[in-house]
Structure 1
């Protein structure tokens, strides 16, 4: 009788003690030209006007008009975003750019948007199924697209489109310029950490279970997230490892001076908790930590953790300035 070998588990369900996670790891070594690279990227993609057009009106809410737009992506192609604008322009007090997890999005997250807030929900290049792109939609392929060089890596353009989405939103709702915030989770949290240090228009940020923090840690264990595709790819192509250092959310977070709320999980099969906490530890400006029991888990526990973290981020962005510390 022959026996099939046992399957390798797709992830290590490692749960870390909070005391361990609250002890900062040695920070990742950063490229000497990290700042130069990102400042040049912002100059290329984050300044100037951005072409956009409304392509479809969606059902409105009691407080907002909702529309789907196309805007010119940093990748040189059409990008999709969903916009929510208050019915009465004179009530707009805040702006919000919302990143998404791997898997893209098909509409706005209406529950995130307060009545006085204009919001834009950009879809990262390649992740909108209905739009052609040079980047593949599959997370395991998207995370490897262009990884051969820092200038061509997909994450560079995902971060740059956060800047461009902000430009579009502020053109549509200029009164939001004084209080422009960012919110993003998982892929979107890591991309936000990469994008925000270079764009002085943002006031605050909420990062939930942020990915791409401390690649040395991220690549040290199996996972169910996109990091597994990168880990396996590096076995065959170790020469691309230095590229990832330009897209390390924990390195970028050292440059974050704006107030930041980080929700980090002690248990997460997709994004290593140590990498999430590395992003929190690296933030150099005012910061708050929300500790999640779990991240990226299906079922009741995961859903509850997601809801609580979402509300924590919403509450943080709504705080008066004198209550941030």
Structure 2
């Protein structure tokens, strides 16, 4: 292992925890009405026609046809992003790829998959889906609507993922039953919330997922989005009543499909105990690939990421 020993932070991004301690962290108990809350939101999202619109992108790639795409999500919110279609072979599977809280300024062309339509949506308020109604910076975005579980922006972002799946099925109806999801950090947390309530998603891949074990998330020092929420809580009182309904670990305990999850032992932006609460909540047949660090450059990162990349290709190949 190459866990970083030198760093610029005034706290320990391992939080003093060894692997065995991290693997012992359980998901918190779900609040009353957790499943009903998400099932109702999913039913409403499923009733929406995403009305996808495509146009050739200015971006070009040898292996992919690149399209700019937009579709409608809940609350008549237009989501923008990119769609990649392979230049060779037929489209046999679909993949929705979420982004981190830094947003996304272009699609990722080096995905280790073939014969796959890859949709890169920008969740509401972020990057191409920026809106004057939602702060575009992570520290502001994560607070938007937090006063109430029905208005919290993270719920809308989960719905944006569900409507991304609807978009793929609208464009390519034969992909039904062959759609997966992959997300990192923010996208990992949103994915963990989206996957258990959408049976159309058949495989999931999460890297250093956030939003796990919100009670811990609110207490551990960080340079990530939790820092903003912790400051808000100090000023306005506890927000845990809202956040418990957006706990990625609680949601992950409901996932019943194959998953490949990559939590980190060291991470200044998403506390490893919170990441492992998500990974640990999954069923035993899922694969956990442990990274030495997340949101931080470290020796050996290239080798670890290459191994993970190979696993990702194999994981989605059977989708």
Normalising to structure 2: TM-score of the pair? 0.90
SS state at 2:176 partner: helix
Partner of 1:230: 229
Partner of 2:214: 215
- Cα 1:307/1:145, change in 2 over 3 Å: farther
Instruction: Work out whether 1:19 is the aligned partner of 2:4.
Output: no
Runs of 4+ in 1 over 4 A off after TM superposition: 8-11, 299-308
Partner of 2:180: 181
TM-superposed deviation, 1:58: 3.6
Instruction: Work out whether 1:268 is the aligned partner of 2:267.
Output: yes
- Cα 1:211/1:87, change in 2 over 3 Å: same
TM-superposed deviation, 1:302: 4.9
Instruction: Work out whether 1:150 is the aligned partner of 2:149.
Output: yes
Instruction: Work out whether 1:167 is the aligned partner of 2:166.
Output: yes
Partner of 1:282: 281
Asked if structure 1 preserves the Cα contact closer than 8 Å seen for 2:267 and 2:296, the reply is: yes
Asked if structure 1 preserves the Cα contact closer than 8 Å seen for 2:80 and 2:128, the reply is: no
User: Residues of 1 paired with 2:149 and 2:310: CA distance?
Assistant: 35
Aligned 1:36-115 pairs, distance under 5 A? 36-87=36-87, 91-112=90-111, 114-115=113-114
Partner of 2:4: none
Q: Deviations over 1:193-247 (max 9, x none)?
A: 0001111111110111100000112122110110111111111222422100000
TM-superposed deviation, 1:66: 0.8
TM-superposed deviation, 1:63: 3.4
Partner of 2:3: none
User: Residues of 2 paired with 1:305 and 1:223: CA distance?
Assistant: 24
User: Residues of 2 paired with 1:225 and 1:233: CA distance?
Assistant: 14
- Cα 1:311/1:87, change in 2 over 3 Å: same
TM-superposed deviation, 1:288: 0.6
Asked if structure 1 preserves the Cα contact closer than 8 Å seen for 2:181 and 2:203, the reply is: yes
Partner of 1:205: 204
Normalising to structure 1: TM-score of the pair? 0.89
User: Residues of 1 paired with 2:299 and 2:175: CA distance?
Assistant: 36
User: Residues of 1 paired with 2:115 and 2:161: CA distance?
Assistant: 21
Unaligned runs of 5+ in 2: 1-7
- Cα 1:33/1:275, change in 2 over 3 Å: same
- Cα 1:130/1:38, change in 2 over 3 Å: closer
TM-superposed deviation, 1:27: 2.9
Partner of 1:298: 297
Instruction: Work out whether 1:128 is the aligned partner of 2:127.
Output: yes
- Cα 1:182/1:75, change in 2 over 3 Å: same
- Cα 1:130/1:160, change in 2 over 3 Å: closer
Worse-superposed segment, 65-74 or 251-260: 65-74
- Does 1 or 2 have the higher relative contact order (CA < 8 Å, sep 6+)? 2
Root-mean-square deviation (CA, aligned residues, Å) is 2.2
Q: Deviations over 1:35-65 (max 9, x none)?
A: 1100011011133421221244244433321
SS state at 2:150 partner: coil
User: Residues of 1 paired with 2:304 and 2:17: CA distance?
Assistant: 17
